[in-house]
Amino acid sequence: MKVKQFVKQHRDDWKALEDLLGTLRKRKNMTGTSIDQFNRLYQKAAQNLSYSQTYFPEEEVTGYLNGLVSKSHNLFYKDQITSGKQIRHFFSTTFIGLLLDQWKFVVLAMVLFTVGALGAFLSVMNDPLHLYSILPPEMSQGVDPGNLGKSDGEVNSSIMSAAIMTNNIKVAFLAFAGGVTFGLLTMYMLVYNGIIVGALAAVFWHQGMSYEFWAYIVPHGMIELTAIFIAGGAGLLMGYKLFVPGRFTRGYQLKEQAKRSVQLLLGTIPLFVIAGIIEGFITPAAISLPAKYMVALLTVVGLILYMAIGKVRLSRLH
């Protein structure tokens, strides 16, 4: 793309951002819609600046965009970070928008996990001894369906919750960071975690304890797996753009897609916190199995409402 074509394609957005800068500085007509529009135009201008710095470093447009983005950045952080508006906006709008834009990669992450889970389940279902060749020794030797639920109400929930959250965030980060390996590590993490769940499910199936097993998995698992799929989707997105960079360089794609992927990863942190709290306090609690399934249902309803409300907010902005 030539510099004249680049300017012609984006100058209307830059002019709109300049106008909003003047309006917001004067504190006139400050509505939620105007702030959301400012955020969208600011992010777009920042992406344009990155492109211009890469392909037109000596052109006048690069200096112009640098000044525009700097002024927007200062106003954005002054008006939003201090008041908490930026955080609310991110989780209520920006994060939902990213999910809707990149949903195919999130679904692909779920498919990879499911393939691993189904493969392991069928393998162990046909021959329980396959468990010892699929899972690590310390895990396979520690599986005892007879002990399920015996420690309910006796576990130090706060310590367990913190440990679980740390481990889950670590898994999500590895799935995300695997994007720099062209997505290969991400694919491995997703399939491997699916294998673990599928193999364990088959062990309890052989014992006629599937109902009990899933009662201890789904309360936290619905949110936890959703977060892992999102983080995995972020890694797959980055890997795809590195593998198929299009008309841009791989360095540029890594820089640009990493920003979007990091935002997706950050958006999963509250989900992991909620999942960790459920897994640490509710899953091991001495409550009935139907109650555990009811918690799972509530988490699913909550996720659906969160996405639906976010989508409505986005539609009002466009």
Q: Are residues 33 and 111 in the same domain?
A: no
Q: Which residues contact 73 (CB under 8 A, 6 or more apart)?
A: 42, 46
Burial 4-28 (b: 16+ CB within 10 A, else e): eebbeebeeebebbeebbeebeeee
> Do 39 and 131 belong to one domain?
no
Same domain, 75 and 109: no
The pLDDT of residue 312 is 87
- Last residue in a domain, options 83, 110, 145: 83
Residue 32 has what pLDDT? 57
Structure confidence at residue 135 (pLDDT): 85
Residues 165 and 287 in one domain: yes
Looking at residue 33, its pLDDT comes to 65
What are the mean pLDDT values of the chain's consecutive 10-residue runs (318 residues total)? 85 88 66 71 87 86 88 66 66 87 93 96 93 85 76 55 66 86 92 92 92 91 93 91 79 77 87 87 86 94 93 75
Sign of CA pseudo-dihedral 48, 53, 56, 59 = positive
In a domain, 90, yes or no: no
Is the whole model's pTM more than 0.85, yes or no?
no
The full 3-state SS of the chain, as one line of letters, equals CCHHHHHHHHHHHHHHHHHHHHHHHCCCCCCHHHHHHHHHHHHHHHHHHHHHHHHCCCCHHHHHHHHHHHHHHHHHHHHHHCCCHHHHHHHHHHHHHHHHHCHHHHHHHHHHHHHHHHHHHHHHHHCHHHHHHHCCHHHHCCCCHHHCCCCCCCCCHHHHHHHHHHHHHHHHHHHHHHHHHCCHHHHHHHHHHHHHHHHHHHHHHHCCCHHHHHHCCHHHHHHHHHHHHHHHHHHHHHHHHHHCCCCCCHHHHHHHHHHHHHHHHHHHHHHHHHHHHHHHHHCCCCCCHHHHHHHHHHHHHHHHHHHHHHHHHHHHHC
Structural domain that includes position 303 = 99-317
Q: Does 36 lie in the same domain as 159?
A: no
Measured distance CA(163)–CA(158) in Å, rounded: 9
191 and 293 co-located in one domain: yes
Q: Would 92 be classed as within a structural domain?
A: no
Token pair in block for residue 176: 């995300």
Statement to judge: residues 291 and 147 lie in one domain:
yes
Domain count, the chain: 2
Residue type, 55: Y
What value, to the nearest 5°, has the Cα angle with vertex 177 and ends 265 and 195? Answer: 90
Residue 31's pLDDT is 57
Looking at 24, 54, 83, the residue that finishes a domain is 83
Q: Which of 36, 56, 83 is the last residue before a domain boundary?
A: 83
The pLDDT assigned to 318 comes to 55
110 and 70 within one domain: no
